[in-house]
A and B are shown apart, each in its own frame.
Chain A
Amino acid sequence: MPQFDFDIILKTLPYLLRDGMSFTLTLTALAALGGLVLGTLLALMRLSTVPGLATFATAYVNLMRSLPLVLVIFWFYFLVPYIGQVILRTERPVEVGAFASALITFTMFEAAYFSEIMRAGIQSIPKGQLSAGYALGLTYRQVMGYIVVPQALRNMLPVILTQTIVLFQDTSLVYVISITDFLGAASKVAQRDGRLIEMYLFAALVYFLISFMASLLVKRLQARTAIIR
């Protein structure tokens, strides 16, 4: 049995929280928002009758859902500067920092998953509501923006939040490109000071507590929205 030293956690806690957890939480929140917006757009595209749009959205969603996140993280980390160069027509690859790169990656990746959720949400709205909207003289944007999407969002809120918890856990995979998220910070300390057991157990505990608490909240929310409906 090795010697335990749980003081290491207390000593490095400011670093773990300030450098690590703040990165993880910011990335989770922004990627969830971005992924939700992009995902909703993808869902609308998949349900639209404009030729090409649905095909494109379906292809995108299927592509992202077929690839392991680890591979997508590498792809984007190396490719995004070149994409920026092509889009912005600059003479050299655009410098994208580690955080921006991670944010773009997770937004684009999660959008595929959120789009499936939103598609189900949109399809759960009775057709009569759309007809009623159009009968009132509302445009497509107004019908979607004021009637369909808000209800779809509310109906799907528990599923969206559950997916966000999955996203929160998935952000730990930025470890593979050595970005200092919560797990990255913990593993850096673990390796530098040879305190693997303490740091990895602590990391597991923190992830567990946050995810578990959040999922309990989602369950309560689910119960409440279920009554409203």
Chain B
Amino acid sequence: MKLVGIAALLLALPGLASAQELTGTLKKIKETGVITLGHRESSVPFSYIDNNAKVVGYAMEICGKIVDAVKTDLKMEKLDVRLLPVTSSTRIPLIANGTIDLECGSTTNNAERQKQVAYTNTHFLTASAFVSKKAKNLMKIEDLKGKTVVSTAGTTNMKQLVEANAAKNLGMTVLPAKDHAAAFLLVELDRADAFVMDDILLASLVASSKDPAAYQLSAEAFSLPEPYGIMLRKDDAPFKALADKTTSALYKSPEGAALFKKWFQSPIPPNGINLNVPMNAMLKKMLEKPTDSADPAAY
């Protein structure tokens, strides 16, 4: 009898439906009827605040799909979605301590962070570069010697920046900023000479700035293109499986390509700018063969 019971349980597992076997985040969501999404304030076009103080973006839509899947999977009539603004510096502790269930933004997926958190399938790839005013004529990392350089606290970019500073003996003054908009502002106000960040975020900050023609992106990058993923708690296999299944299906479907087009190749709020990001081979592969690998070489 016991064996039959176990067999029945195993059969039921893929559906993850019955309440008593729920664990981790799914159990918590079922019990509380609430899912909390961490979002960003100025990670355009992934997760940011538009003119009406509403949170929008590519990663927010992907999270929306995961939320729908959770709701269906748990057979919930009502699922309360709460939003909490996070910064690059608070997002990892807040995932770990249960304040947010998903982090929907522009978080680099790397091996080091995987010791703390988990990621679902990669939703973008970007390299670390820097932006500066054209008039300053800074193109290569060497050009930053002795300059004041800002980056967002808690990002991989910040770490790469201070490591390069030490390794190449550049003697830069490194300023931390709370968020990408705050960091870009320091360049705009001439408080910093350059801002080191993922090139896609820099490109959108420049495009939405008051005078886009005044800025340029560096020719040299601090890193290879690295994957972005939606963050979730570590050691929570059922929740991750559901998120992976949902995002994988989304990316492979025409809807995934449409979503990409909507945020990267069409006018986006708040000012109707079009980022015109070409769909290169790497991004194409990312959508066709979804993976949560942290290894840049896997793409």
A residues with CB within 8 A of B:
15, 19, 77-82, 92-98, 101, 176-180, 188, 191-192, 194, 196
Determine whether the beta carbon of B93 is less than 8 Å from that of A78. yes
Contact A92 to B85, CB < 8 A, known contacts A188-B41, A194-B210? no
Give B22 Cβ to nearest chain A Cβ, in Å: 12
Contact flags B55-99 to A (C-beta < 8 A → 1, else 0): 000000000000000000000000000101111001001101111
Does B28 reach chain A (CB closer than 8 Å)?
A: yes
**Chain B hits for A95, CB < 8 A:** 28, 32, 34, 36, 98-99
Give A183 Cβ to nearest chain B Cβ, in Å: 13
**Chain A hits for B87, CB < 8 A:** 177-178
**Chain B hits for A80, CB < 8 A:** 97
Determine whether the beta carbon of A191 is less than 8 Å from that of B181. yes
Which residues in chain B, 142-197, are within 8 Å of chain A measured between CB atoms? 178-179, 181-182, 185, 188
**Chain B hits for A77, CB < 8 A:** 90, 93-94, 99
Given contacts A178-B41, A191-B41, A194-B188, 12 further A-B pairs with CB under 8 A are A15-B53, A77-B93, A78-B90, A78-B97, A92-B24, A92-B28, A95-B34, A95-B99, A97-B36, A178-B87, A178-B178, A191-B179
B residues with CB within 8 A of A:
24, 28, 32, 34, 36, 41-42, 49, 53, 82, 84-87, 90, 93-94, 96-99, 178-179, 181-182, 185, 188, 209-210, 270
Our pick among A92, A93, A176, A194 for the contact of B178 (Cβ within 8 Å) is A176
Give B19 Cβ to nearest chain A Cβ, in Å: 15
Give B104 Cβ to nearest chain A Cβ, in Å: 15
**Chain A hits for B181, CB < 8 A:** 191-192
**Chain A hits for B182, CB < 8 A:** 191
Determine whether the beta carbon of A96 is less than 8 Å from that of B99. yes
Give the CA-CA distance A188 to B84 in the complex, in Å.
14
**Chain B hits for A94, CB < 8 A:** 98
**Chain A hits for B24, CB < 8 A:** 92
Determine whether the beta carbon of A178 is less than 8 Å from that of B93. no
Give B79 Cβ to nearest chain A Cβ, in Å: 14
**Chain B hits for A179, CB < 8 A:** 85
- Nearest A residue to B51 via CB reads A192
**Chain A hits for B86, CB < 8 A:** 178
**Chain A hits for B42, CB < 8 A:** 191-192
Contact A97 to B84, CB < 8 A, known contacts A191-B42, A191-B185, A194-B210? yes
**Chain B hits for A188, CB < 8 A:** 41, 49, 53
